[in-house]
Amino acid sequence: MNKPATIKDIARQLNISISTVSRAMRNAPDVNIETRKAVMALSEELNYQPNKLALSLKQKQTHNIGVLVPNLDYVLATMVKGIDEVALEAGYTVMVCQSNESFGREIVNMRRLLDSLVDGFIISVSSETKVFDHFRKIQEKQMPMVVFDRMTPFLQAPGVRIDNEDGGFQATEHLIEQGYKRIAILAGPKNLGISNERLDGYLRALKKYKMKPDQDLIIYCDFNQHYAYLATQELLQMKKRPDAIFTISDRMAIGAMLAIKEKGLRMPQDIGLVGFNNEPVVSLVTPGISSVDQPAFELGKIAAKLFIETMHNESDMSHVEEVLKVKLIVRESSQRIVTKNGRTK
- Minimum distance between the CB of residue 240 and a copy of itself, rounded to whole angstroms? 29
Residue type (1 letter), 131: V
When asked if residue 8 is in the footprint of DNA (CB under 7 A), the reply is yes
- Residue 139 CB burial class (10 angstroms; 0-12, 13-18, ≥19): middle
Name which of 152, 194, 174 is nearest 328 in CA terms. Answer: 174
Instruction: Among 1, 27, 33, 345, indicate the residue that binds DNA (CB under 7 A).
Output: 33
* Footprint on residues 296-335 left by DNA (CB under 7 A): none
Residue 86 binds which of DNA, a copy of itself, none (CB < 5-8 A, kind-dependent): none
Angstrom distance (rounded) from CA 244 to CA 175: 7
Residue 46 binds which of DNA, a copy of itself, none (CB < 5-8 A, kind-dependent): none
Angstrom distance (rounded) from CA 70 to CA 147: 13
When asked if residue 49 is in the footprint of a copy of itself (CB under 8 A), the reply is yes
Residue 113 binds which of a copy of itself, DNA, none (CB < 5-8 A, kind-dependent): a copy of itself
Stretch that binds DNA, among 57-65, 105-113, 250-258, 328-336 (CB under 7 A): 57-65
Helix runs in the chain, H state only: 7-14, 18-25, 33-45, 52-59, 74-89, 103-114, 133-140, 164-177, 193-208, 225-236, 250-262, 296-312
When asked if residue 1 is in the footprint of DNA (CB under 7 A), the reply is no
Q: How many residues touch a copy of itself (CB under 8 A)?
A: 47
Angstrom distance (rounded) from CA 219 to CA 184: 8
When asked if residue 111 is in the footprint of DNA (CB under 7 A), the reply is no
Stretch that binds a copy of itself, among 121-129, 193-201, 279-287, 310-318 (CB under 8 A): 279-287
* Footprint on residues 166-225 left by a copy of itself (CB under 8 A): none
The upper half-sphere exposure of residue 324, i.e. CA atoms within 13 Å in the direction of its Cβ, equals 20
Angstrom distance (rounded) from CA 6 to CA 331: 61
What are the E-state strand segments in 282-339?
A: 290-293, 321-324, 327-329
Instruction: Among 147, 254, 259, 271, indicate the residue that binds a copy of itself (CB under 8 A).
Output: 254
CB of 26 or CB of 212, closer to DNA? 26
Q: Are 159 and 151 in contact (CB under 8 A)?
A: yes
Angstrom distance (rounded) from CA 228 to CA 134: 31
Q: Are 220 and 248 in contact (CB under 8 A)?
A: no
Residue 20 binds which of DNA, a copy of itself, none (CB < 5-8 A, kind-dependent): DNA
SS3 187: strand
CB of 37 or CB of 226, closer to DNA? 37
CB of 54 or CB of 337, closer to DNA? 54
Task: Residue 87: count other Cβ atoms within 10 Å of its Cβ.
Answer: 25
CB of 58 or CB of 239, closer to DNA? 58
Residue 19 binds which of DNA, a copy of itself, none (CB < 5-8 A, kind-dependent): DNA
- Minimum distance between the CB of residue 88 and a copy of itself, rounded to whole angstroms? 7
Query: What residue ranges bind a copy of itself (CB under 8 A)?
Result: 1-2, 4, 49-54, 56-57, 62, 64, 72-74, 77, 80-81, 84, 88, 93-98, 100, 105, 108-109, 112-117, 140-142, 254, 257, 280-281, 284-286
Query: What residue ranges bind DNA (CB under 7 A)?
Result: 3-4, 6-8, 15-20, 22, 25-26, 28, 30-35, 48-51, 54-55, 57-60
